[in-house]
Amino acid sequence: MPRQFTYRGHSVDELKQMSMDEFIKLLPSRQRRSLLKGLTNEQRILMEHVRQSRKENASKPVPVKSHVRDMIVIPEMLGLTLQLHSGKEYVAIDIKPEMIGHFVGEFAITSENSRLRTRRLFMEHRGSALRGQACTFLSSRLDPGSLIVSNQEISPFSEAVFRSSLRTGRLRTYLVFSAE
CATH number for position 56 = 3.30.860.10
72 and 127 co-located in one domain: no
Q: What is the pLDDT of residue 116?
A: 62
Q: What is the pLDDT of residue 114?
A: 67
Answer for the pair 29, 48: CB distance below 8 angstroms, yes or no: no
Q: What is the pLDDT of residue 111?
A: 83
Q: What is the pLDDT of residue 47?
A: 95
94 and 159 co-located in one domain: no
120 and 93 co-located in one domain: no
Q: What is the pLDDT of residue 131?
A: 36
Q: What is the pLDDT of residue 1?
A: 72
Q: Domain range spanning residue 126?
A: 114-178
38 and 125 co-located in one domain: no
48 and 121 co-located in one domain: no
In a domain, 1, yes or no: no
What is the CA angle 118-105-75, rounded to 5? 140
Whole-structure pTM over 0.75, yes or no? no
pLDDT digits (tens, 9 = 90+) for 29-81: 999 999 999 999 999 999 999 999 989 887 788 999 999 999 999 999 999 99
Cα(174)–Cα(159) distance, rounded to whole angstroms?
11
Counted domains in the chain: 2
70 and 118 co-located in one domain: no
| % of the chain at pLDDT higher than 90 | 51
Low-confidence ranges of the chain (pLDDT < 50): 127-155, 157, 170-180
Last residue of a domain, one of 74, 89, 107: 107
